[in-house]
Amino acid sequence: MAEKPFSCSECGRCFSRKGILISHQRSHTGEKPYSCLECGRCSSSKDQLIRHQTRHTGERPFSCLECGKCFRQKSDFAKHKRAHTTEKPFSCSECGKRYSWKNQLIRHQRGHTGEKPFSCRDCGKCFLERWLLVNHEKAHRSEKPFPCSECGECFSRRGHLISHLRSHTGEKPYSCSECGKCFSGRPNLVAHQRIHTGDRPFLCTECGKCFSDKSNLAAHQRIHTGDRIYSCCECGRGFTQRSNLVRHERVHTGVQPFSCSECGRKFSRKSSLISHLSSHRRKEVEEIEAK
C-alpha cells in the first residue's frame, strides 16, 4: 500500500503527495485560482481547468476501441466501456439491484438510508447529490458585477455578459461547418453540431441513458431524484421540467396557443391539436369513400 504522509487538518484525509493535499484543501476553502480565458470559469486545480477547456476546444482524447466513440473525460470513457461488457459487480445489500460503478451504488443506497451528505454552508439545507447543492448555492451568490449597458441586466462573469450582448447586436460569430447555421455563442454551436455527429456525451450514471445536451441530462436525472424544482405559483404543484410547468399553468390561465388551421378551434396542448387534426383527415377520407 502506498504511503500517504500528508493529511488534511480539516477532514483527516491522507495523500501521497503535498501537491494533491493542497488541491484537496481548496475543496474546504472554496479557493479556485485557475480561470478559463474563454469564459472566465474558475477551477480549484489545473487538471480541472484542462478538463473544462475541452468544452471549448471540442477535444475528445479518449477513444473507445469497441465502437470508436470519443470522450472528453477519462471517467466518462471508463463508464462507457462498461456498456460493452455489461459488467455490474456492485450490488445493493438492501434490494439486490446491481451497478457497474461503486459511486452509482452509493448514490442508490442513499435512497434506502435517506442520507443527504451535501449541505449548504449558508443555510444548512442538505442534498442527495453534489450537483443539486451546487445549483442551490448559486441562489446565495447574488454578486453580479458585470452590467449590460443596453438593458441593465447584470452577470457574475464577463464571459456571460459578452455572450448576452450578442442578443442585442444580433452578432452570430460561430458557424457550423456542416450546414452553415450561425450561433451567438460557442457552447450553442457545439451543442448544435451533435445533431450532425449523433454524439451524446452526457451520461446518466443511474441508468446509462445518454444525452446530447447537459440541460436534457439534468432534466432526466430529476426522474431518478424526484426533485421537482419548478412549482406552480397558483396551486403549488411541482414539476421536474419547466415545459411541464408551462403546460400546467395553462389550466389556470386558460391560454390556448395551438389553433386548428381547418376550423379555428384552439387547444392548450400541441398533442390535443394533433389528435384533433386527425379527426379532419378521417372526415375527408369518409367523404371520399362515400362518393
pLDDT at 113: 85
Q: Per the structure block, which three cell numbers stand in for 4? A: 500517504
Q: What is the pLDDT confidence band of residue 164, given thresholds at 50, 70 and 90?
A: confident
In CATH, the number for domain 228-280 is 3.30.160.60
In single-letter form, the type of residue at position 64 comes to C
Overall average pLDDT of the 104-133 stretch: 82
Q: What percent of the chain has pLDDT over 70?
A: 95
Predicted confidence at residue 53, as pLDDT, reads 80
Mean pLDDT score across all residues of the chain: 82
3-state secondary structure the chain: CCCCCEECCCCCCEECCHHHHHHHHHHHHCCCCEECCCCCCEECCHHHHHHHHHHHHCCCCEECCCCCCEECCHHHHHHHHHHHHCCCCEECCCCCCEECCHHHHHHHHHHHHCCCCEECCCCCCEECCHHHHHHHHCCCCCCCCEECCCCCCEECCHHHHHHHHHHHHCCCCEECCCCCCEECCHHHHHHHHHHHHCCCCEECCCCCCEECCHHHHHHHHHHHHCCCCEECCCCCCEECCHHHHHHHHHHHHCCCCEECCCCCCEECCHHHHHHHHHHHHHHHHHHHHHC
- Is residue 139's pLDDT more than 70? no
Q: What is the mean pLDDT of residues 186-209?
A: 84
Separation of alpha carbons 161 and 164, rounded Å: 5
What pTM does this model have? 0.35
Domain ranges of the chain: 228-280
pLDDT for position 141? 67
| Segment 94-102 mean pLDDT | 82
pLDDT at 170 over 60: yes
Q: Among 238, 283, 241, which residue's Cα sits nearest to residue 260?
A: 283
Confidence at residue 138, expressed as pLDDT on a 0 to 100 scale: 66
Q: What is the pLDDT of residues 209-237, one digit of tens each?
A: 888 888 888 888 888 877 887 888 888 88
Of 232, 196, 240, 236, residue with least CA distance to 215: 240
Work out the average pLDDT over 52-78: 79
